């Protein structure tokens, strides 16, 4: 049986984390290919439905990552995201998902190394959790 390779959906802010991912790439830093980036203009626009839909439709983990607090290009979008993610973590168990499948991070535009490290750490964490069982139940 093949080793479990998780699929992780990452909603990343255009101004910071996406730029850090780009920097990691141009710096030839290695990070796992399990992570699928979805570029958004700000973490504040990542609706709770996006996260739940990603998990329901097969993601093993979801990352929301953007500018550090105080650096949001839309003033307070990341503060809104932080409140939303905190709330989401409390309701995810009602859908059958472990809250650890969702992570919020701040990765600045110049943090290419940090980006690669966090992606590696996230994949390790999701591998330890195992496949998204709720997704599997829905398929059956
Ligand atoms: Fe990056 Fe708002 S613009 S989190």
Q: CA–CA separation, 119 vs 140, rounded Å?
A: 30
User: What strands, in cross-sheet order, belong to the sheet with 35-40?
Assistant: 35-40, 8-13, 61-66, 102-106
The length of the chain, given as a count of residues:
140
Q: What percent of the chain clears pLDDT 70, i.e. is strictly above it?
A: 96
Residue 44, ligand 1, Cβ within 6 A: yes
Q: CA–CA separation, 105 vs 117, rounded Å?
A: 12
- pLDDT-based confidence at residue 140 (cuts at 50, 70, 90): very low
Q: CA–CA separation, 82 vs 59, rounded Å?
A: 21
What is the residue-wise DSSP string for 90-133? HHGGGGT--GGGEEEEE--TT-HHHHHHHHHHHHHHHHHH-S-H
Helix (H) and strand (E) counts in the chain? 5, 4
pLDDT in tens, 76-129: 999 999 999 999 999 999 989 999 999 999 999 999 999 999 999 999 999 999
**Domains of the chain by start residue, with CATH:** 8-139 (3.40.50)
Instruction: Calculate the average pLDDT of the chain.
Output: 95
pLDDT value at 19 more than 90: yes
Q: What percent of the chain clears pLDDT 90, i.e. is strictly above it?
A: 91
Which pair of tokens denotes residue 96? 């059958």
Whether this prediction's pTM lies above 0.85 is answered by yes
Q: Which atom of ligand 1 is nearest to the CA of 44?
A: 2
Ligand 1: residue of 19, 37, 67, 68 to mutate (most ligand atoms within 8 A of CB) is 67
Report pLDDT for 66: 98
Ligand 1: residue of 63, 70, 73, 80 to mutate (most ligand atoms within 8 A of CB) is 73
Report pLDDT for 12: 98
Q: Yes or no: say if 15 and 73 are a contact pair by the CB < 8 Å rule.
A: yes
């Amino acid at each position: 049986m093949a080793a479990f390779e998780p699929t992780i959906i990452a909603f990343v802010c255009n101004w910071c984390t996406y730029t850090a991912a780009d920097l990691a790439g141009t710096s030839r830093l290695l990070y796992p290919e399990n992570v699928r980036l979805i570029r958004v203009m700000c973490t504040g626009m990542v609706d709770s439905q996006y996260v739940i839909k990603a998990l329901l439709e097969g993601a093993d983990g979801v990352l929301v990552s953007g500018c550090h607090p105080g650096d949001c290009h839309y003033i307070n979008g990341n503060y809104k995201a932080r409140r939303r993610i905190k709330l989401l973590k409390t309701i995810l168990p009602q859908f059958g998902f472990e809250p650890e499948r969702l992570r919020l991070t701040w990765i600045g535009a110049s943090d290419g190394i940090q980006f690669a490290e966090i992606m590696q750490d996230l994949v390790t964490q999701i591998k330890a959790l195992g496949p998204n069982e709720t997704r599997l139940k829905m398929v059956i």
